[in-house]
Structure 1
């Protein structure tokens, strides 16, 4: 579902009751700030201002004072659509290179470095046009040598470390079909530093440390070839867009183009598209709009506009199909049906968006009720992915056991036919609009959500369509059922679609990107440029940290016989009610199945379908989430409908009745879902990790056996549900009602016994002690290999948390960490790598270490050696250490735990045996932590210690003798990993 952010204060509007008086007037209006013109849309709840500087740069600002941070996105209207035909993947290359610094940042002496960079660029041009294999190998060897010399002068990842010191979180970027977006989340007091760095970054980018970064892109390409979902998505685009770049060019590019990069072409692309009239700076957060636009204007006025033509293409021909494609791979089978939609902002796009919610909205859509609810498929849904010129309308589903994908496809088309015939519930449109509005209220508090919506509007039409975003639901509310039916009959034709069958099998078309010979380059992470020193010296007013006093932030009362924890919602009319039980699947293995079963059964008075509709019609929701040691019931929605929602859930929980047919279908679907998990590499690695940490009997495989699942009966499950409220639990309320009112209403609606039942005795798991290196190996058909290092260490103590946090920031927690710097930046051994010392969630558990490298299989030995070197000897970089501490200090100063997060923070502290906010203790002691502290920590906890290595790879691509050199090898079957 596409989220649109607009106002919705009145409860009547939330229920879709539109009158003439409730219709708002949305129109563009204008103003100026110190001579800088801006536009805004009246009645925009985000109060967004759209500025256009004299050079054409778009600046989009929306204030949100919820926390002292700012989400910043710098969006460029250029992506894979605008890649040159002979250099696909170029926009994505460029995105990576914009992190390499400038003539002042990322170098110790640019005048000395530049001749090497010029030589590297020339060598790549020669390499690009050379076809002889021997000559190419010789050229690349020279590239490697010259790059090594250049790297001695550069400072790898200085941009990332500077942003970390500044307090930025989530430094990242992405490239997609129509956009390249650079993203930061900064403290509000660092805005001046941020704007200076970004202005310089786009003024003077230097493409250094290129060949190791290129190898990271190779790794990214290989990862996509191991990702069946990615392959399906690319096939969907190819089939829907047989003519245009929407389907004929991929974001990462072809292997042939990856092997033949051109720095000259990348520079030309930058000069063509990275111009002010094609860029937007988008800020959402805690700042002053007038002050911010002055700073932006001052920093970015140097940019000079140039004509930029948007990507234009000949209209796509009408699809004459259906166009059918099969994708092979090791993951679970599924089917996807794709239709081509209209351009952003068009009525066709809005209607398609509405159709996607009629089909699937998580509760009361046709697929939700007729297929998921009735268990005719394993799972299914629908969504619209909207681009500037077209939309991709995707309907998808996964098959049950012994169900053909063709049958699944037919079932999906039956739901389309229901829309075309108009035989769906007349109230569904009003309910969809009410739930859209509920989501929008929630979304208004999120800076990232606000900035993302504005970014999408800029990419589509430079923000000109924002008025349609703001007035979206008002326009949607005028659509009638007849409008929907008429549109569906035009949109869903008999042959204008594509079908992608994802089948299980070996994909013999995969050709991995070959590994070039790369000599590790210097990262110089202990050096710092004069530029960084100047930026760090710029003034910034520190943010005063705020800690939680749980005794003041949480009010306590009673809800029947249960303790009530209360936090008021002073922002809007939404509530969240929780019942928290200190028991989970370790106390009773059938609880997760019972919670799942609840979704498919009704009561004597209502069917499951009617209950789902009732919740959706009042824009409320419920869930029962069973963890290993906790179970949480959540009921949420509009406070006006609080009593209706709680009464609905309580009636369902206490009066649900057995349904053997529903259970039989559920058992079949669970069996298929369990089988599918064995095909998912991330699930397999999760199981390997648990085996390494706990042994053969572990939390991951502590589940029902196949026989136990088959023998489950309806009465046992229903009894477990009926008895749930009889166990001790804590009630938590976050909402606008006063505590007395909330306590009274909850006590009336939520019945508790005079004395709670004791919890069933819970299963406990003891972590293993690694005494010698061991390798746990599982075979999986994949291009890459994935390796995890696992080691259990000391028991939990609060005093250790600060050292752990500093160590993680320094060692392996992000792009500025030693692990990333060495494994990826210096040695080009992986696209993804990290290492973390993990703090347990409860006082009875112990700390542990986990490292990770995902690399090409032929790099595995080097990757293992590279990580082991870092585990054995901690490299010292005083600059990186100070950056790690500064980053943590900024995080603590600007971290705000608010809303219902206060309640869950309190529970988390309790699990650790704490009755206070440990962040204050960390902040007070942070200045005392020295490098010798984490060096001693590393020596005592990691260096020279045995580890369990979890290796997931194809046995055709890695050698057992190589694994045996690491430690004793144990090959695990899927049955040993999963327990069934």
Structure 2
């Protein structure tokens, strides 16, 4: 369960109200299946808005693309609603709503209940006790009673039920104004899903609390290690000195995390988890008449009650820049933020959406052309965070070599000055609208996009503003240049917060201390009668669909190039690919050349004009290089196919060397490399590559400083001009027929008489672990991150079924053995997993990878716990049955469509296959048993030597402890990165 990530303003995510939706988009009312609903005319989602008798909102959107449904259940309460002395409470509660009720998650509720009540009373005492010695005594009691209570608890029974019905993406998030529970279910699991959810919210039991609380501590620690999160929270605190947006951390303060109170959490639940404050949202393949009747029957027990909304006093205007600094080990950056009107101010939201795209749209915005295209900083971005009461408009940037953050600041604010003066082409607004319409077509295919958009409307306005959400793109075209300039001058003055992210030690970090927790029972084999009832509920079988590559993909040729084709029968979008059989392992300069192309002009267009041309026709191109191939993708509306393809062909053929652009690119590359050495995620990726391959590995296969210095602009342009001469496959997905598409490509794409032979590729061999070894790198962090890595046999398609089942059972989800043991029972980590990783190419080897991220003072316990599981596989026939059923449901409801069919075929070819491997896996599942899973575990994981890759602060762990696991090798950043 994770906090909601901060996202930029995007299509259909901005709730609007007002008088924009005239004529075309109007609220109407209809009745079907005995239920009345509201809808908006010309809504491409055809969303139905129901309000049940008890006030529960239900929003439904049918999409028959695949037999699955994205479901969201949300309440309009988040960290804004936390009591001042119990911040983080809404987020605590989110975690606890996975623990069950008196009917599931319990072996014997009559015996468990008094213990749960005693634990609640003890936490109340603990919350009010201040003497450290007395607190430890109370916590010891909590730990003791919790251990007894856990004997009657069934850990993860909710997750088991969801996995058993084929649910995916079981999760939840809490944010400032919302708490939302997420599931992606098969279309035949509606009855099971709604029965479980209705019970889940009926009267939740806050069991296994002290171990779950420890998981929240770990989540807090992960945030303390995340410089970006610290910048975000500092920015909000400065922007909102009185509003809870800035004054109440969603995850809570360390002080409050240490002093939870179950009775206060229960009060929060009783106050906000009421039907008139909640919504059920579903998008996917279902009968809406059946679904609304079922929801009404299941959730009709809920009783409405008045809910007092958080309604703070307005913030005082910011009259001068507010300067803040954040310190941490990651690279320096700058964030400039303005407080702007909230989502309910419809006109302001509309204008701000246009402004956001004028400043940055990825191609032709002011930042795109004037800053990023000209490489004036390492990178720059702009965007808006739309909240109910206020929005936040941000400008962000990172400095290039030799540049100060204040210089970046001046460049960013300079683009705002251009906006405020109106020095931009008003025609850009039309292009913005066309590109947003393209985005709308793409998002309609995805149930997740639909559901999130509808839930966002509920959170901000209880769905009242949906007509304006639907009209949003059309209404963008009504925004005038004067309105844009007036808005910019009104809201973008010296009234900003600026946060400087500096490199250095954060002396304000408060670590959450490790409490004394005795591991608790998880009762893997136990099942409540409720779970058995859910499992036995009838469900109409969904027949799996296998790809037949010979039938599903049509083929042709253009000259000596193969064409692979799948028709788009749904809309007017196209995607064209040239997939070249040459990659970075053939030529280390290829990725640099691919990145260089965007800065080049031709004899006809400047680099800036090229970006504008693509944006104006709502199309785009991209050149990406992987280890063994380079892919050119050209996408957009079919009506502009010829223009887009011809323009790209002109660019790749006629691009001209530009030494100045190359010098800037080299400088930015060097700065980016330096920044990567400061980034925890990049270091860990490199550390793991070292563990898998050894000193010579794909991660550090980089241009050396000498090689980089020697490269000229002409070298890179020659690579780009030569690229179309290498052997490649042409892939088309779009509305044209094969003959039409082939004819169109043939007239636009020039092919050589014979293909150029690609340079010989560098090869990398995975290491063989013959003894335990520890690879350690020092990093200033609160947590310790440990990976276990072991390479094994070469790929064998016959193992695919048992590997899939083993991963699901052992370490692939919240109901797995690893998660249950390390997080649920022993409270040693927030995030942990283990899986047997398959290669993507025939002849390559499998790799076992396990992971635990824990507080530094828990590292030894966490390593011991994972080693026990790697060496001795616990048996749970019930968990195995759940894993098998879930795996079957996943395959039955998976639909590989569109150009995904072609890329599935290409992936199969790389593995030496010519059929859909899923069929083989599916047909093998029923015949597999625990003995086979254990045999696999014993053969490939148990009592084997591993390489431990460990990232931690050497000030918080003991090197002598590391020596217990194997010979320690401390790696420098130069060894990891190769530069």
Shorter-chain TM range is over 0.9
Q: What is residue 365 of structure 1 aligned with on the other side?
A: 365
> Structure 2: how far apart are the matches of 1:559 and 1:862?
61
Question: Residue 478 of structure 2 aligns with which residue?
Answer: 478
Residue in structure 1 matched with residue 397 of structure 2 by the alignment: 397
Quote the residue 1:446 is aligned against: 446
Aligned to 1:794: 793
Say yes or no: does 1:90 pair with 2:89: yes
Aligned match of 2:176: 177
Q: Which residue of 2 aligns with 1:266?
A: 265
Offset at residue 320 of structure 1 (A): 1.9
Q: Where do residues 516-535 of structure 1 align in structure 2 (5 Å cutoff)?
A: 516-535=515-534
Match of 1:255 in 2: 254
Residue 293 of structure 2 aligns with which residue?
Answer: 294
Is residue 688–residue 776 contact of structure 1 (8 Å, CA) maintained in 2?
yes
Partner of 1:306: 305
Name the SS for the 2:926 alignment partner. Answer: helix
Comparing 677-686 with 348-357, which one deviates more in the overlay? 348-357
Any idea what SS the aligned residue of 1:117 has? helix
How far the C-alpha of 1:352 sits from its partner, in A, is 1.3
Per the alignment, residue 3 of structure 2 pairs with: none
Mapped partners of 2:664, 2:404: distance in 1: 16
Residue in 2 aligned with 1:418? 418
| 8 Å CA contact 1:128, 1:260 repeated in 2 | yes
Residue equivalent to 1:4: 11
SS at match of 2:102: coil
Q: TM-score, normalised by structure 2?
A: 0.98
Counterpart in 2 of 1:578? 577
Matches within 5 A, 1:121-132: 121-132=120-131
| Offset at residue 34 of structure 1 (A) | 4.4
Residues 433 and 474, structure 2, Cα contact 8 Å, conserved in 1: no
Aligned partner of 2:431 in structure 1 is 431
Q: CA deviation at 1:487?
A: 1.4
Deviation at 1:491, TM superposition (A): 1.5
| Whole-angstrom distance in 2 between the partners of 1:485 and 1:320 | 20
Does residue 469 of structure 2 align to residue 469 of structure 1?
Answer: yes
For 2:857, the equivalent position in structure 1 comes to 858
Question: Per-residue deviation at 1:488?
Answer: 1.1
1:36 is displaced (CA, Å) by 2.9
Separation (CA, whole Å) in 2 of partners of 1:729 and 1:673: 31
* Cα distance change of structure 1 residues 24 and 848 upon mapping to structure 2, 3 Å threshold: farther
Report the alpha carbon displacement of residue 473 of structure 1 after superposing the two structures with TM.
1.7
Q: What is the distance in 2 between the residues matched to 1:502 and 1:433?
A: 35
1:229 is matched with: 228
Match of 1:962? 961
1:157 aligns with 2:152: no
Q: CA deviation at 1:348?
A: 1.0
Q: Is the aligned partner of 1:68 residue 2:75?
A: no
Is contact 1:172-1:184 (8 Å) kept?
yes
Contact 1:24 1:43 in 2 (8 A): no
Cα offset, 1:704, TM superposition:
0.4
1:49-89 superposed Cα distances (whole Å, 9 cap, x missing partner): 00000000000000000000000000100000000011000
Q: Distance in 2 between matches of 1:276 and 1:871?
A: 45
Is residue 113 of structure 2 the alignment partner of residue 114 of structure 1?
yes
User: 1:142-190 CA deviation, whole Å, 9 max, x = no partner?
Assistant: 1101100111111000000110001000100000000000000000000
**2:915 match:** 916
Q: How far is the alpha carbon of 1:35 from its aligned partner?
A: 4.1
- How far is 1:559 from its partner? 2.6
Match runs of 1:828-867 below 5 Å: 828-867=827-866
1:483, distance to aligned residue in structure 2 (A): 1.6
Deviation of the 1:908 alpha carbon? 0.2
**Cα distance in 2 for residues equivalent to 1:880 and 1:831:** 21
Distance 1:276 1:920 in 2: 43
User: Do structure 1's residue 354 and structure 2's residue 354 form an aligned pair?
Assistant: yes
CA distance in 1 between counterparts of 2:665 and 2:815 reads 47
CA deviation profile, 1:671-716 (whole Å, cap 9, x unmatched): 0001111111111011111101111001110110122112211111
| Paired position in structure 2 for 1:48 | 47
Residue in 1 that maps onto 2:488:
488
1:518-553 Cα deviation digits (max 9, x unpaired): 000010011111110011111100101000001111
SS of match in other structure, 1:928: coil
Contact 2:638–2:734, Cα closer than 8 Å, also in 1:
yes
* Alignment pair present for 1:386 and 2:393: no
**1:737-767 C-alpha deviation (Å, 9 max, x unpaired):** 1110110110111101111011110011111
Output the CA distance in 2 between the equivalents of 1:372 and 1:343: 29
Q: Cα offset for 1:424?
A: 1.1
Query: Partner of 1:214: helix, strand, or coil?
Result: helix
Distance 1:854 1:285 in 2: 35
* Equivalent residue number for residue 729 of structure 1: 728
Cα pair 2:429 2:476 within 8 Å, conserved: no
Q: Tell me, what secondary structure is at the counterpart of 1:306?
A: coil
1: CA distance, partners of 2:860 / 2:467: 56
Q: Does residue 817 of the first structure (1) align with residue 805 of the second (2)?
A: no
Report if aligned partners of 1:839, 1:846 keep a CA contact under 8 Å in 2: yes
- Asked whether the equivalents of residues 623 and 634 of structure 1 are also in contact (C-alpha less than 8 Å), the reply is yes
Q: Which runs of 5+ in 2 are unaligned?
A: 1-7, 14-19
3-state secondary structure, aligned to 2:904 = helix
The alpha carbon displacement at 1:974 in A equals 0.2
- Give the corresponding residue for 1:17: none
Secondary structure of 2:144 counterpart = helix
Confirm or deny: 8 A CA contact 1:3 1:439 kept in the other structure: no
For the residue of structure 2 that corresponds to 1:914, the secondary structure is: coil
Q: Which residue of 2 aligns with 1:325?
A: 324
Deviation readout 1:856-890 (Å, 9 max, x if unpaired):
00000000000000000000011100000000000
The CA deviation at 1:23 is 8.5
Q: Give the Å deviation of 1:2.
A: 3.0
SS in 1 for 2:833: strand
Equivalences for 1:718-797 in 2 at 5 Å?
Answer: 718-797=717-796
In the TM superposition, 1:825-974 aligns within 5 A as 825-974=824-973
| Contact 2:98 2:158 (C-alpha < 8 Å) held by counterparts | yes
Tell me the distance in 2 between the aligned counterparts of 1:239 and 1:387: 16
C-alpha RMSD over aligned residues? 1.1
Q: Match of 1:612? A: 611
Question: Aligned-pair distance for 1:5?
Answer: 4.6
> Does the CA contact (< 8 Å) of 1:3 and 1:440 recur in 2?
no
In 1, the alpha carbon distance for the partners of 2:354 and 2:731 equals: 35
Tell me the secondary structure at the aligned position of residue 485 of structure 2: helix
User: How many pairs are equivalent?
Assistant: 965
* 2:17 corresponds to: none
Q: What are the superposed Cα offsets for residues 198-237 of structure 1, whole Å, 9 maximum, x if unpaired?
A: 0000002100000000000000111101000000000111
Q: Is the 8 A contact 1:562 1:731 kept in 2?
A: yes
Equivalent residue for 2:5? none
Contact 1:5 1:443 (C-alpha < 8 Å) held by counterparts? no
Aligned to 2:964, what secondary structure does the other structure show?
Answer: helix
Separation of aligned partners in 1, 2:581 and 2:812: 31
Q: Is the 8 A contact 1:40 1:48 kept in 2?
A: yes
Residues in 2 aligned to 1:731 and 1:611: alpha-carbon distance in whole angstroms: 23
How far apart, in 2, do the equivalents of 1:149 and 1:252 lie?
29
Distance 2:425 2:559 in 1: 39
How far did 1:902 drift? Answer: 0.4
Q: Is the 8 A contact 1:559 1:747 kept in 2?
A: yes
Is the 1:560–1:751 Cα contact (8 Å) retained in structure 2? no
Distance 1:491 1:899 in 2: 44
The yes-or-no answer on 1:458 pairing with 2:458 is yes
Equivalence for 2:4: none
SS of residue in 1 equivalent to 2:201: helix
Q: So what's the TM-score if we normalise by structure 1?
A: 0.98
Question: Where does residue 652 of structure 1 map in the other structure?
Answer: 651
State which drifts further: 500-509 or 339-348: 339-348
Report the secondary structure of 1:338's partner residue. Answer: strand
Q: Distance in 2 between matches of 1:648 and 1:397?
A: 31
Contact 1:36 1:52 in 2 (8 A): no
